[in-house]
Amino acid sequence: MEQVLSHYDASQDVCNLIHQGPSEGNISGFLDGLNKLKKAKDYFLNNNPQSVELENVTSLFNNGCETLNNHLKSLLKKHSVPMRPVDLLDLIYIEEDSSNEDCPSIKQLPTSTRDELNVIAQWLDNNLRREYVQIYGDERSEVIMRSLQNLKDHLKSGSWGNEPLKSARYYGRASDAGVKKSTSARLQQIFE
């Protein structure tokens, strides 16, 4: 009986939490509230599909999912910055001494943010809310495009703007024969 009553109280119990939204680094409480709404929604769908309570918990659940997507987007915007052209050039033209190793990548997002994004994405995916994929793609592609535009502008403004893309370290090398990966493949690895 107590569990049934908890479903009726679910929307009141978590209403403020859902309207406040999650805070960075403290996503678990918000997800607990959404899980409570999901259980109540499932209960009403199976036992009382015509109830006002079903409308209330469904509406609040959908608002919470939208808020979660917005939080994911704000985390990406806050922590994603374009790469500096010099750093990008260094990554493209790595000394071939490490030809057997994978191309290094720059971790643009702090570990705690990546972990939080992962928790959010898993929760959304488990609850069949896959809008986050488009949000992630849009935000990250924007950063990549800005990085490439900055590189293009850097190369145009430099004295070596008419030559092929080569970093300062590259000019000291004796041969191009050891280059195993194309520039586009390296760029793809860098931004993964």
pLDDT tens track for 138-175:
999 999 999 999 999 998 887 454 444 444 444 444 44
Across the chain, what does the average pLDDT equal? 83
Going by C-alpha positions, the residue among 91, 87, 90, 80 that lies closest to residue 144 is 80
Q: What is the mean pLDDT of residues 172-187?
A: 51
Stronger pLDDT, 185 or 40, i.e. the higher one: 40
Q: What tokens were used for 30?
A: 């918000």
Burial of 137: CB neighbours in 10 Å, binned 0-12, 13-18, 19+: exposed
* Number of DSSP helices (H) and strands (E) in the chain, helices first: 7, 0
pTM over 0.85: no
Cα gap 94→14, rounded to integer Å = 52
Stretch among 73-82, 99-108, 138-147 having the lowest mean pLDDT: 99-108
38-51 pLDDT per residue, tens: 999 999 999 999 99
Farthest CA pair distance, the chain: 80
